[in-house]
Structure 1
């Protein structure tokens, strides 16, 4: 009689391995089928430019916080010096009061009537008593001065403590904005690293060429500046064409956008503030149709600024990796407003 043996069942471990292998194979084939194509050089460049603009916005906020920090630091130093001087004056007044109290104690150790009886020179005693009254009046005046000085010192200390608290808050803001623009720049660099060496070299060459030769190629027309000040600021900025963009830089050999406009107007003899967010509040707001060479033009939610150069063109420091150059307003970003200094 033939024997029938039951087929051996595969082990649970073997089934698990086979299942996992099959699942992984399906997943890999699915990923391969749906993998996104590698972005082109132009796509990477567009994303990088967007990140640079976002980094510039954070940079301008950083510049504003840095400017406020510097002002607060000076105010804190001044207040602390004032507190130290007031404390020294208070200590001097207290010392004088102590001397007066000692003199009064020594002179007033005996009852005045007894001192008069014992005195061999009554007239001299009366002179001394009169002097003692004067000491007492002077002591009262010293007490009043001490009380006034203590109140002033307390107010100065409260002001100093409030400024120190403001300074600590601004420093935190400074750190956050620094991390933000550093993060944006790092992300931009990661994107650039996805390109080939040749592609990155072509982008760099394009930026260098734009910075060096823009002044020779651009047609600015014959628009007349609204003032000698605007004309001189634009002339000064034009001498910086080809200088590299460096975040937080204010010249003379590298700039960020507001650093360039501040430097240009400083060379023309006028000090303007440090950031786009404060420069936009200076001077007179003008319509786009009223633009004249030397006016400040703001873009992208006021995070970018340049000097109008004529013929719908601005002179500006664009973003990291770029150079100071002339550029059409239509390619920079969304127009915001303009200001005439």
Structure 2
């Protein structure tokens, strides 16, 4: 009885620690998901920043070209003014009138000179306005790039703050798990000792019972008593034992789900899907890394798909939300190897590989691995799938 009490006394401590570990693990998983989403927001901000930088380069190129055009237009106008000045010395308006044979000839000559000047002025005005518009666009893009740069820094800070919390929780989880393991080891040792003592007690009790039977058998009065008829009573209970056997033959009901896997029709380009899946499988075990997009540095979720698809000539942006805008939507029942799958408000993604599974770079401290899209967490956070092949 004392042994039973000590075992029961040890149990609540282990259960408390297990519950604590489960609670911290849930917090770690939530923080992991937040870090993944924050990393994707950071990726998205960087993606937009790159686009702004590209547009700014194009605008500056346009501005340079418009300035060159303005210079050429001004040069041509200057040359014409010089020509008019030089010609004007020998052919004034009076000379044009005196040399003309008719009034229409006079008007045509004067109008021609004025038209040339108006055309030059119009060209210069157009180029100046283009130059001013381009300058304005440049100022706007510079301002947008500055704002976007600040946003990138804020998101990086947000991501790092969440990561710091995650690191703290992971440390605590490690210590609690170590405590659980220690308590479980102590409990296993305690159970071994309890079993050893119980078996020793049982051996003593059996020896005592045997001695008592021996003494009873040696007395003359007990000789007539051994005939006991109760053995006939257990027979009905023996007949009842075969009844539980049939239910154990029911596991074959697990076979139908395996027959449902080949049901979805594969797309016409299934070979490319198989090819990209084969490439992705080669990176199983590569560590997760924020912003990572290569086996040497590690992968984040969108970095993995970007890198893998690039090897078959398909360019994807390093941003889950941007990848979600590519290709065409497919339902879960239509999923085929190579389709992109998205979760948690586009904060996480992976690539479907068949059999209800997908390959992905899940979270900090983890590696590229295979998971099921049917896990409760995945089902609850499902967003959709896209086919880009």
TM-score, structure 1 as length reference: 0.70
Does residue 247 in structure 1 map to residue 225 in structure 2?
no
Quick one: which of 166, 173, 197 aligns to 2:151?
173
Residue matched to 2:169: 191
**Residue 320 of structure 1: CA displacement?**
1.1
Please give the alpha-carbon distance, in whole angstroms, between the structure 2 residues aligned to 1:275 and 1:263.
12
> What secondary structure sits across from 2:293 in the alignment?
coil
Does residue 47 in structure 1 map to residue 27 in structure 2?
yes
Please give the alpha-carbon distance, in whole angstroms, between the structure 1 residues aligned to 2:32 and 2:341.
19
> What secondary structure sits across from 2:350 in the alignment?
strand
Residues 130-141 of structure 1 correspond to what in structure 2 (within 5 A)? Answer: 138-141=116-119
Quick one: which of 367, 372, 375 aligns to 1:323?
367
Q: What are the superposed Cα offsets for residues 129-188 of structure 1, whole Å, 9 maximum, x if unpaired?
A: x99997765444322221221122222223333333332332232222211111110111
Residue matched to 2:238: none
> What secondary structure sits across from 1:181 in the alignment?
helix
Quick one: which of 271, 277, 291 aligns to 1:228?
271
**Residue 40 of structure 1: CA displacement?**
4.0
CA contact (8 A) 1:104 1:132 kept: no
> What secondary structure sits across from 2:345 in the alignment?
coil
Q: 1:279 to 1:196 in 2, by over 3 A?
A: closer
Please give the alpha-carbon distance, in whole angstroms, between the structure 1 residues aligned to 2:275 and 2:18.
48
More helix by share: 2
Q: 1:160 to 1:136 in 2, by over 3 A?
A: same
CA contact (8 A) 2:357 2:370 kept: yes
Task: From the CA coordinates, give the structure whose radius of gyration is larger.
Answer: 2
Please give the alpha-carbon distance, in whole angstroms, between the structure 1 residues aligned to 2:261 and 2:273.
15
Quick one: which of 70, 80, 90 aligns to 2:60?
80
Residues 112-151 of structure 1 correspond to what in structure 2 (within 5 A)? Answer: 112=92, 138-151=116-129
| CA RMSD across the alignment | 3.3
> What secondary structure sits across from 1:165 in the alignment?
helix
**Residue 267 of structure 1: CA displacement?**
1.4
Residue matched to 1:238: 281
Q: 1:290 to 1:107 in 2, by over 3 A?
A: closer
CA contact (8 A) 1:236 1:264 kept: yes
Q: What are the superposed Cα offsets for residues 215-274 of structure 1, whole Å, 9 maximum, x if unpaired?
A: xxxx9x975853222222211111111111111112243110011112222212212233
Stretch moving more, 51-60 or 154-163? 154-163
Q: 1:112 to 1:268 in 2, by over 3 A?
A: closer
Gaps spanning 5+ residues in structure 1: where? 1-35, 117-129, 203-218
Q: 1:185 to 1:114 in 2, by over 3 A?
A: closer
**Residue 194 of structure 1: CA displacement?**
3.0
Stretch moving more, 167-176 or 263-272? 167-176
Stretch moving more, 94-103 or 268-277? 94-103
CA contact (8 A) 1:243 1:255 kept: yes
CA contact (8 A) 1:225 1:294 kept: no
TM-score, structure 2 as length reference: 0.62
Please give the alpha-carbon distance, in whole angstroms, between the structure 2 residues aligned to 1:261 and 1:192.
27
> What secondary structure sits across from 2:139 in the alignment?
helix
Residue matched to 2:39: 59
Count matched residues.
275
**Residue 52 of structure 1: CA displacement?**
1.3
Residue matched to 1:256: 300
CA contact (8 A) 2:292 2:300 kept: yes
